Structure 1
Amino acid sequence: MNTPAFFSQMALELHEEPDADATVQRIAEYARIAVGCDDAGIMLVHARKQIETAAATSARVAASHDLQIVHNEGPCLDAIDGDGVYVVPDTATDSRWLKWGPAVQALGLRSAVSVRLETRDRRYGSLNLYSSTVEAFDEDDVAVATIFTRHASVALAAKHNEDGLQIAIDARKLIGQAQGILMERFDIDDDRAFRFMRRQSQDRNEKLRDIAAWIVENRGNPGARFSHTAD
């Protein structure tokens, strides 16, 4: 494999993915190719320490991740919170995970590598590589996986930031559109229209964006009532 060309192509394709979900799936597929293993998967950490399988190249990878959640043990989980890189030479005999190991052996997964996905600012989860062969991963494979994970983490962070920025832009557009509707309906200026939406947001304990969305969606509904009170 031409390593520089591979990473360059990967960076371009990850940048072209439409959202974070598609980016994560592509990372898993590229990881399998980069290391030359049988399967790959990604576990991501969300708010309040919720962990989920965000990508898997096969059903048995998803099952392996689920077993770690069930037994509360495994290299993928430890990679997220522990030393960052875990190598499993043989799932059947590794004494670190006595419940998870035999369970994934039954799935045909005999060795694994888990590497934390992270940037300097955030831990995203773990990239997990699997093989049907015992002791399939050597030091070179671990080095490639570690380098790959650094590139993948940067791509994932960029896509998360891009998605977040787009959501913020869309929300601002929606709020501006709702302001215009209220200004026309009640003959008020933009400040009073915004204060009205903010007050509705506080009174109803709903996000400002959701209040704006309701106004926009019901602008042509004769039964909709905008109970404006002048400040």
Structure 2
Amino acid sequence: MAEVGESHAAVGAPGDRAGAAEFAQLAMELHDVDGIDETVEAVVQFALHALQCTAAGVLLVTGGRPEVLASTDPRVAALHRLQIEADEGPLIAAIRQPCPVVIGDVETETWWSAEWIAQARAVGIRSAAHLPLLVGGRAAAVLSLYGDVPDAFGADELAVAHILARHASVAIATARHEVTLAQAIDARKLVGQAMGILMERYDLDPDRAFEVLKRFSQQNNRKLRDVAQELIDTRQLPG
């Protein structure tokens, strides 16, 4: 599949035919992408070209902890890491509120920390917008947009960004669900193989073999799939 964004010069207003066609194409491309990494890469590339911003990035929130997953510019990753380490900044605020955080001009900004402002100025960032990608009312990720001119994200740009954020929320939630489902299927296969080993070696029925695995999992405070994997690899129960 061609990288998302290669054919996008700029997206029209959300209500016009050109804009609608661009987002319809994006929806199809995101549907065809496999994996969470590929999904967020497609989102940032579309944002970069459709909004004609200087840089874009996606930060994923897993278990309440944010991690940088994709960015179109090393400066974005650096700004994100600074906020993650400090546990404050516009990006963190977008996760916690959760609602969009827009910075019109870094040069006149006084709300955020002096360290964040200094780093943004140092790398040539003048404006930014952080949009939480909501799943079930919570921020599952944040789409960050950066401009090298003041007020790069006016009403029209933000309207497009909000539509992109909704598409991205669905795509990322779907990709995460597929990963979780694949992991669950893989775990069931491992447990089934481990049960087969126990049944053959100790002449156990399926229920008893599963109970043995579960007991060792609980006693060793380890995940059932990890116990099963060790049994498959070593032909020995943990401990």
Report the TM-score when normalising by structure 2: 0.85
Q: For residues 207 and 85 of structure 2, what CA distance do their matches in structure 1 show?
A: 52
Partner of 2:73: 58
Partner of 1:30: 46
Q: Which runs of 5+ in 2 are unaligned?
A: 1-10, 12-17
Label 1:202 to 1:67 Cα distance change in 2 as closer, same or farther (>3 A): closer
Partner of 1:115: 131
> Which structure 2 residues correspond to residues 108-187 of structure 1 after superposition, within 5 A?
108-187=124-203
Q: For residues 73 and 178 of structure 1, what CA distance do their matches in structure 2 show?
A: 46
Report the TM-score when normalising by structure 1: 0.88
Task: Tell whether the 8 Å contact from 1:77 to 1:126 is kept in structure 2 after alignment.
Answer: no
Task: Tell whether the 8 Å contact from 2:230 to 2:237 is kept in structure 1 after alignment.
Answer: no
**1:101-143 deviation digits (Å, cap 9, x = unpaired):** 2320110111111111112353213111001112222110011
Count of matched residue positions in the alignment of Structure 1 and Structure 2:
221
Q: For residues 60 and 35 of structure 1, what CA distance do their matches in structure 2 show?
A: 18
Q: For residues 174 and 141 of structure 1, what CA distance do their matches in structure 2 show?
A: 49
Label 1:163 to 1:70 Cα distance change in 2 as closer, same or farther (>3 A): closer
AA in 2 matched with 1:173: K
**1:79-101 deviation digits (Å, cap 9, x = unpaired):** 11225112211112112114112
Percent of matched pairs sharing the same residue: 43
Label 1:70 to 1:93 Cα distance change in 2 as closer, same or farther (>3 A): farther
Task: Tell whether the 8 Å contact from 1:84 to 1:116 is kept in structure 2 after alignment.
Answer: yes
AA in 2 matched with 1:73: E
- The answer to whether 1:43 aligns with 2:59 is yes
Q: Which runs of 5+ in 1 are unaligned?
A: 220-224
Q: For residues 62 and 226 of structure 1, what CA distance do their matches in structure 2 show?
A: 43
**1:63-88 deviation digits (Å, cap 9, x = unpaired):** 11123234543321211122511221
